[in-house]
Amino acid sequence: MTTLRIATRSSQLARWQANRIADLLRNGQEIEVELVFISTQGDEHRDVPIHSLGGIGVFVKEVQQAVIDQRADIAVHSAKDLPSTTATGLILAAIPERADVRDVLIGSRLDDIRDGGVVATGSVRRRTQLRALRPDLQFAELRGNIDTRIQRAKDFDAIVLAAAGLDRLGRAETIAQRLDVDAMMPQVGQGALAVECRSDDSATIERLLKIDNVKHHRCVDAERAFLAGIGGGCDAPVGAYATMHGDEFSLDAIIANTSGVIHRVHTTGNEPAVVGSAAATTLLRFAGAT
């Protein structure tokens, strides 16, 4: 019987995600699974804001390296943590499912937060969009695992988290409000699970293809194409969400300029890369505008 080693972070949510992939792989396949726990830069510097550590990628690089070094066979991530470009030697082989893509408020609904209230979130994307909805709000940093953040909600008027993690860990009862994507555009890949393996490991790729959800995968591909088109040198707040209707993709995306003004675009088409790139091309000219 084949044993697959899954590289994953050791947080409660990361364990849930890795075990979910393990269960999917075991279903109908003669596979044993072993979890290989990896500490990342983001885990080791919990007192430093994510954007100060470099933003996207701080929770995945060490996990990916374990697969590249053959200490593990596959890596499981939250797709929103992945950089737009797949690491050399790896392939994004499967995106098996996608949960609720929305962000949520814990502690209070948006309209019920007092004037000048403090909302805790380390995400520049979230802060920018909340400020556009409520210019009076103040913001504070928030790091830690989901339970730690929930416990800290009492210290602020509200905190912001992703719905998917709360739903997966059975913490949905803590949610005061799920924010519609029209008001709060999610991060690229939010809600999706992503599974990588070595690009030359054909046997593992074949096994992972059996748990891939093609529709979800292609939608995330469109969002990642948008992020790639924006480019690693752009530190402006961005967000994107793609859906698929028949053979056509529909992608909504945002970027904020240096004054915090949010620009939006809607693109459609039949190829994920084309749809994502078109959205990036349209929005890039706004990135440095004042």
Note whether 103-179 and 213-285 share their fold.
Answer: no
CATH label, 1-98+192-212, candidates 3.20.20.10, 3.40.190.10, 3.30.420.240, 3.90.79.10: 3.40.190.10
What pLDDT is stored for residue 286 in this prediction?
78
What pLDDT is stored for residue 53 in this prediction?
41
Pick out the chain residues at pLDDT < 70.
Answer: 41-58, 232-234, 288-290
Choosing from 43, 69, 81, 136, the catalytic residue is 81
pTM, two decimals, is 0.91
- Distance separating alpha carbons of residues 271 and 210, to the nearest angstrom: 22
What's at 103, amino acid-wise? D
- Judge whether 42 and 110 are in contact, CB under 8 Å: no
- Distance separating alpha carbons of residues 11 and 15, to the nearest angstrom: 6
Active-site residue 81, yes or no? yes
Domain 103-179 of CATH type 3.40.190.10 = yes
Beta-strand ranges (E) seen in 181-279 are 193-198, 238-245, 248-256, 262-269
- Distance separating alpha carbons of residues 175 and 177, to the nearest angstrom: 6
Is residue 271 within a helix (H) or strand (E), and if so which, with residue range?
Answer: none
What pLDDT is stored for residue 48 in this prediction?
47
* Contacts for 268 with CB less than 8 Å, ≥ 6 apart: 248, 249, 250, 251, 275
What pLDDT is stored for residue 144 in this prediction?
87
What pLDDT is stored for residue 3 in this prediction?
92
What pLDDT is stored for residue 232 in this prediction?
58
Domain range list for the chain: 1-98+192-212, 103-179, 213-285
- Judge whether 21 and 195 are in contact, CB under 8 Å: yes
CATH topology of domain 213-285: Double Stranded RNA Binding Domain (3.30.160)
Three-state DSSP state, 278? helix
